[in-house]
Structure 1
């Protein structure tokens, strides 16, 4: 894939990307697994399940079909526990606030695309007061398939009214990088939960530990003036 000279839209994953919270998700998943008598590790959740919807995770975790009522109950148990763990630590990823401000000043179109359920999105986006910074927030309930399918990123591009090829996605998980690449978008891996070499192997065009230390080549493609971005 040849990268476009200019990238006109930016789509952010939320968990592990805008906020460094995946350890709390993993802790909540492990606690639920142990209560259910299932042997599962935090590493498995971060490697295999990150970016997927709860209704995709639970049948695999339990090794059987899960009725809608049970799925709703178990998902709520896990998410409530996660929110109780993470709420005291709520904060934006290093450099994210300044980076988003620079993008907005450059006229880039911004969206969030996340598998996080409504209450989790409310905790982060409203708790940090950043929801209004994005033109659209796309949730898992708006698409049929979770990551690594490209659906949620393609939906965000449609809402932003941009060509997928002009979008860059920021992600922390292998499933998210695979989804971004499948959508035909530039993929940037944030290394909060996954080593840079693993993200690169999955297809990340760039990797960085946070938003304060992004590769200069990527910033040159993103931090543009409206006059240099026809069609924006």
Structure 2
């Protein structure tokens, strides 16, 4: 199953991947929905909306076009609530720091590709001191389409100066796995919220629960000279 040759770059989604925070996003979205008089179940945010830009998600949630000012207001209301919920729990996913250091030491180019707003990226990446690991951070403002479109991952590959086929993506959501596969990249599912079987069905080449233990074949692919 292990493709070759060895990847040259690793691209990480942020929410649900570098940090186990998706349940707090879902809580904030459900609270916003109820405040707007909408009955939107948590599962819809977990499966359908995960990885989408707020500019795409809110019109889909409301079922109508949303003016720029209203969109900005609703998005900030939700994101502020999410940060308040998650702040006491802010922590990297198990093994994340060690894997990032190991990848850098092995010469990988590293990037984040996340539809999360700029303030949320700063909250996590700077709050945990993870930003120095990454040569580039690609956000929603850098593309016109969120996941499952491949735009975020393709933009990250361009920034790193590598072909998409030389990239491996770490991603927790179905939309993200679909985006990675559409970009022509290896896809590693991180099952912080979505079950292993669902990630595999979406096209994940491997599935991991965290970064502390990698499948042997995948570890050999990444670190053939050191394993």
TM-score by length of 1: 0.95
5+ residue gaps, structure 2: none
Q: Distance in 2 between matches of 1:2 and 1:148?
A: 24
Q: Residue 17 of structure 2 aligns with which residue?
A: 17
Q: Distance in 2 between matches of 1:223 and 1:110?
A: 15
Q: Distance in 2 between matches of 1:64 and 1:136?
A: 34
Q: Distance in 2 between matches of 1:8 and 1:225?
A: 14
Q: Residue 8 of structure 2 aligns with which residue?
A: 8
Runs of 4+ in 1 over 6 A off after TM superposition: none
5+ residue gaps, structure 1: 227-232
How far residue 129 of structure 1 moved from its aligned partner, in angstroms, is 0.7
Q: Distance in 1 between matches of 2:102 and 2:117?
A: 28
| Partner SS for 1:212 | coil
Q: Residue 125 of structure 2 aligns with which residue?
A: 125
Q: Residue 68 of structure 1 aligns with which residue?
A: 68
Q: Distance in 2 between matches of 1:108 and 1:96?
A: 15
Q: Deviations over 1:124-168 (max 9, x none)?
A: 000001101101000011001000000000000000000110100
Q: Is residue 2–residue 217 contact of structure 2 (8 Å, CA) maintained in 1?
A: no
Q: Residue 92 of structure 1 aligns with which residue?
A: 92
Q: Distance in 1 between matches of 2:194 and 2:176?
A: 11
How far residue 5 of structure 1 moved from its aligned partner, in angstroms, is 2.9
Q: Distance in 1 between matches of 2:3 and 2:49?
A: 28
Q: Is residue 93–residue 210 contact of structure 2 (8 Å, CA) maintained in 1?
A: yes
How far residue 223 of structure 1 moved from its aligned partner, in angstroms, is 2.1
Q: Distance in 1 between matches of 2:115 and 2:209?
A: 22
How far residue 225 of structure 1 moved from its aligned partner, in angstroms, is 5.3
How far residue 224 of structure 1 moved from its aligned partner, in angstroms, is 4.9
| Partner SS for 2:144 | coil
Moved more, 177-186 or 100-109: 100-109
Q: Is residue 12–residue 169 contact of structure 1 (8 Å, CA) maintained in 2?
A: yes
Q: Distance in 1 between matches of 2:19 and 2:2?
A: 30
Q: Is residue 4–residue 166 contact of structure 1 (8 Å, CA) maintained in 2?
A: no
Q: Residue 40 of structure 2 aligns with which residue?
A: 40
1:24-35 to 2 correspondences below 5 Å: 24-35=24-35
- Determine if the alignment matches structure 1 residue 164 to structure 2 residue 127: no
Q: Residue 199 of structure 1 aligns with which residue?
A: 199
Aligned residue pairs, count: 226
